Amino acid sequence: MDKKILFVGVGNVLKMDDGVGVYICKGIKNNKRILTLPVEVSIENYIGKINTINPDILVLIDCVDMNRAPGTYKLLPISKIHDLTFNTHSISIKRLAEFFRMPTFILGVQPHKIDFGETISFIVLKVADTIIRLINKYEFYYG
């Protein structure tokens, strides 16, 4: 309950649902235990900053193809993502996590569309807003 959690929003905001991680990250309220960092598509440029912040837990939020219904989301340890697809990154998230010193998780959201456009699909947006409310409510109860 007293751990510092850093939520990092990953994704391309110009490819519809791929921007959901950034959207969620921007909706989370920062406080003494919950921090956010929207990095969009260049997470590899933030490795040093993330390690300097040195959270107890790192949660990468990203659009993930899990072969599930759009809007499905899962929180998984990074070690469990071997069969998931991250379409817009130049380096695999699993490989990238090797550079972090803290336990790292992925909060993956199944996209509906990843075409060019700045609008997140309705079902994914609805789920994203639910995730934001749950995280912000967590701090209210345990902060």
CATH number of residue 54's parent domain: 3.40.50.1450
> Residue 38 belongs to what domain range?
5-142
Query: How far apart are alpha carbons 43 and 6 in whole angstroms?
Result: 13
Over residues 82-128, the pLDDT tens digits come to 644 454 455 666 777 788 989 999 999 999 999 999 999 999 999 99
Confidence class for position 139, pLDDT limits 50, 70, 90: low
Domains of the chain: total: 1
Candidates 101, 3, 104, 107; CA nearest to 54 is: 101
Counting runs of H as helices and runs of E as strands, what totals does the chain give? 4, 5
pTM for this predicted structure: 0.89
Whole-number pLDDT of residue 138: 72
Please tell me the chain's helix, strand, coil percentages from 3-state DSSP, rounded to the nearest 5.
35, 25, 40
pLDDT at 59: 97
At 123, phi and psi to the nearest 5? -65, -40
Q: Which range (5-9, 87-91, 103-107, 130-134) has the least confidence?
A: 87-91
